[in-house]
Amino acid sequence: MAYLYVVPLNVAYPDVFCAGAAPPPITGYTVALRARLTDCDGNPLQGKEIIFEKSLDGVTYTEIARRITDENGEAFAGDAPTQTTYYRARFEGDDQYEPAVAEAVYTP
């Protein structure tokens, strides 16, 4: 299984990325996606919805999962791509936090 990180989704700096520990195995998928949502001080945001999406052209995205962040601000999803695939994880924002997006590309 390949691990594809789309972390973090920082509500203050949505274009900042970092790598971390591998996400837990997601049975039946070849790519595991992990997003981590934090506030501008790096504190994890629990209970926030993350929308995972994929695209074959990097322009038109299709939703593959909606997940709620855990106590570490993390949400996980999986996919089984057969070709180069663009992924993004989106937080749409709420009354307290601005929207954030993180992106990654998988090439088999």
pLDDT in tens, the chain (108 residues): 233 344 444 333 333 333 344 444 445 567 888 888 888 788 888 999 999 999 999 999 999 999 999 999 889 888 888 888 899 999 998 888 888 888 888 887
Structure tokens at 4: 């594809």
Q: How far apart are CA 76 and CA 61, in angstroms?
A: 18
Task: State the pLDDT at residue 29.
Answer: 60
Name the residue range of residue 8's domain.
2-106
pLDDT at 38: 85
In this structure, what CATH number is given to the domain that contains residue 18?
2.60.40.1120
Domain count, the chain: 1
Angle at 39 between CA 62 and CA 66, to 5 degrees: 25
